[in-house]
Structure 1
Amino acid sequence: MPSCIIVGCNNRTFRKSKKQEKIEEKQKITFHAGLQRQSSNCFIRDADSVQGALETALQTISPKSLIIPSLCLSSRTDAGVHALGNTAHVELENKYNTVYKSSEVKRYVNRYFAKCGHTIRLLECIPITHDFHVRFSCKSRTYLYRFMIPKIYEEQRISLPEIIHTHCLRSHNFDIDRVRRGIQLFMGTKDFTTFSAQTTSDRKIQYVRALQAFTLEEAQSLMPFDPLSKNFTYLHFTCKAKAFLYNQVRRMVGALIALGLGKITEKDITVMLQVPSHRNWNSCVTPVPPNGLHLLNVEYDPDELRRCTILQEEEQQKAPQLEELEWEEQQQGLQLKE
């Protein structure tokens, strides 16, 4: 009986440079080029993507799966975007026709990641039925965009962890109150065509979306004991919706930061929303870099997830019964021989 398993993991992705490739060789740290597998052929191992690394790790579990692991992802993140809680489902089958134990899958997969230096960890593993789909069953996705503002004009000394996870604004003149008012322009059901990157796909895209939440909050330094962390004010946008368009969060945040810096007005954002078009993007706005973006959480209906979960307690109860049947068959075989 094939079993589908939903997995939850966190990861860090980077845009590779020649310097980073040298770091990989010396320190055995793998920098990933994004979440999605780069090759469409599941028989080719792809260690450069998070999906490829996880699929390779799943091939190390015991008993070995008769089906080559091919992940279905709930959310796709680009190179440079981090994920603190992403999900995927995968179909596995073994020769014993049993459901894999969650603890064993996590042990094998995380051992592989640690051995290979991957900045990925499998956080949770749940056996599920075929009724559950990790993308279509998703109730909401929450993203956080982290950025910082220098307290002193032209301050360039940045704490190293912040470089990886936080976008630094070069200007210290930033109107936070104006940005918070500008957030309200995005709330409600809107056509976000202008705030999505144009793709070459022939697939029909639904550009009308509704944000469930969008806030701007003051944040803390990632490394408060570093003296350099005191040179900046830290903030983060939190955005929640059922689904987002390609580059939508980075473009919305870019528009709001441009608003806070005085490069555009509220009217400019309103025009981009009211006249949805890829050609209507304001040239004064730049989408924010990917390093500040983090996928925080992918949420599901707990009742649906509970209904589709294969209870391992039931599988454990079946195990003694199977052993008892096997023992009876062996005894019958011995009696026939006598």
Structure 2
Amino acid sequence: MPRYRALIAYDGTDFLGWQVQPGRRTVQGELEKAVNRMAKDPDPALKVHGSGRTDAGVHALGQVAHFDLPFAIPEEGVRKGLSTMLPYDIEIKQIQRVDDDFHAQYSAHTKTYRYRLTNREFRDPFRRNYTGYWPRRLDVAAMQMAIGDYLGEHDWQSFAAAGYQAKTTVRTVTRANLEQVSEDELIFEFTGTGFLYNQIRIMVGVLLEIGMGSRSVHDIPRLLAAKDRQQARLTAPASGLYLKSVDY
């Protein structure tokens, strides 16, 4: 069966995450409905495999998925056909025919996540679904100094939310950056070999506490060594998180 790789963007606001859940609206569920409709509803039904899960309210600029079809269709035909069958909050940006051994999850080398934060006294109703919100003044220079402590291979147990199912909590972060892009918006970006459940949101939460002065600038190494989730208290809102890209 021909295998196709899809580059996908979606607005996660009205989805209960990526993964199929019975009776719930999910990104994977909508994609599988469209793929099976294109394939003339085969039995058994076809599956769509993503590079990883995103939680309820989390967005994607460059999610990657793969699926097989029972017959060959030109790449642009697949893209256009699926686009006509998908809701407006999912966009197929590109389709590529790939080898049978390609796997969207297991072939991935690194992922990059972006976190957008609105930092102002009053909440902006027009950004509430697309940025996190923090009303207190932040010391951005201190946060920029601290963020480099995330780089490298670490045991991230202190940054893993309850319910994670990973075999190991060791991950490598190869890039960590914080930029103030306007008077009231910050953008955090992290690239790594993989991230645990809620890890990025907890990493941002720790930086926010550093920015408020409730943690020392170089408290991150202590948190990593503690291997205790209770030591890293804050989890930033899901609305600011985007899966930016997956590299193979």
- Pairwise TM-score range, normalised by the shorter structure: over 0.9
Deviations 1:48-80 (A, max 9, x none): 000000010112326665652201110210001
Equivalent residues of 2:117, 2:131 under 8 A apart: yes
1:74 to 51, 75, 85: 51
Counterpart Cα distance in 2 of 1:218 and 1:271? 26
Q: Secondary structure at the match of 1:260?
A: helix
Counterpart Cα distance in 1 of 2:142 and 2:218? 13
Using the TM superposition, give the Cα deviation of residue 281 of structure 1 relative to its aligned residue in structure 2, in angstroms.
2.3
What root-mean-square deviation, in Å, do the aligned CA atoms of Structure 1 and Structure 2 show?
1.9
Deviations 1:78-112 (A, max 9, x none): 00100011011112213xxxx22111111221111
Match status 1:156 vs 2:118: no
Counterpart Cα distance in 2 of 1:260 and 1:62? 51
Using the TM superposition, give the Cα deviation of residue 266 of structure 1 relative to its aligned residue in structure 2, in angstroms.
3.5
Match status 1:288 vs 2:239: no
1:217 to 149, 164, 179: 179
Equivalent residues of 2:143, 2:217 under 8 A apart: no
CA 249–200 in structure 1, closer or farther in 2 if over 3 Å, else same? closer
Using the TM superposition, give the Cα deviation of residue 268 of structure 1 relative to its aligned residue in structure 2, in angstroms.
3.8
Match status 1:246 vs 2:197: yes
Q: Structure 1 unaligned runs (5+)? A: 15-30, 40-45, 221-231, 301-338
Task: Point out the structure with the larger strand share.
Answer: 2
Counterpart Cα distance in 1 of 2:144 and 2:58? 24
1:106 to 59, 65, 79: 79
**What are the within-5 Å matches in structure 2 for residues 142-291 of structure 1?**
142-150=112-120, 155-156=121-122, 158=124, 160=126, 162-171=127-136, 173-199=137-163, 201=165, 205-220=167-182, 232-266=183-217, 268-278=219-229, 280-282=230-232, 285-291=233-239
Using the TM superposition, give the Cα deviation of residue 208 of structure 1 relative to its aligned residue in structure 2, in angstroms.
1.3
* Percent identical: 28
Map of 2:6 onto structure 1: 7
Map of 1:298 onto structure 2: 246
Q: Choose between structure 1 and 2 for higher RCO, CA contacts under 8 A separated by at least 6 residues.
A: 2
Counterpart Cα distance in 2 of 1:104 and 1:291? 33
**What are the within-5 Å matches in structure 2 for residues 122-137 of structure 1?**
122-137=92-107
Counterpart Cα distance in 1 of 2:204 and 2:164? 24
Q: Secondary structure at the match of 1:163?
A: coil
CA 13–294 in structure 1, closer or farther in 2 if over 3 Å, else same? same
CA 47–10 in structure 1, closer or farther in 2 if over 3 Å, else same? farther
1:120 to 66, 80, 90: 90
With the length of structure 1 as denominator, give the TM-score of the two structures: 0.69
Using the TM superposition, give the Cα deviation of residue 234 of structure 1 relative to its aligned residue in structure 2, in angstroms.
1.1
Deviations 1:244-268 (A, max 9, x none): 1111110011001110011222354
Counterpart Cα distance in 2 of 1:198 and 1:148? 27
With the length of structure 2 as denominator, give the TM-score of the two structures: 0.92
Task: Point out the structure with the larger helix share.
Answer: 1
Counterpart Cα distance in 1 of 2:179 and 2:123? 23
Equivalent residues of 2:11, 2:58 under 8 A apart: yes
Q: Secondary structure at the match of 1:213?
A: strand
Counterpart Cα distance in 1 of 2:179 and 2:106? 30
Q: Structure 2 unaligned runs (5+)? A: none
Counterpart Cα distance in 2 of 1:165 and 1:298? 20
Q: Secondary structure at the match of 2:64?
A: strand
User: Aligned pair count?
Assistant: 248
Q: Answer with 66-75 or 127-136: which moved more.
A: 66-75
Counterpart Cα distance in 1 of 2:113 and 2:83? 25
Counterpart Cα distance in 2 of 1:71 and 1:163? 30
Deviations 1:315-336 (A, max 9, x none): xxxxxxxxxxxxxxxxxxxxxx
Deviations 1:144-178 (A, max 9, x none): 0001222xxxx325251x1111112111x211111
Equivalent residues of 2:123, 2:133 under 8 A apart: no
Counterpart Cα distance in 1 of 2:195 and 2:99? 26
Counterpart Cα distance in 2 of 1:166 and 1:78? 15
CA 183–200 in structure 1, closer or farther in 2 if over 3 Å, else same? closer
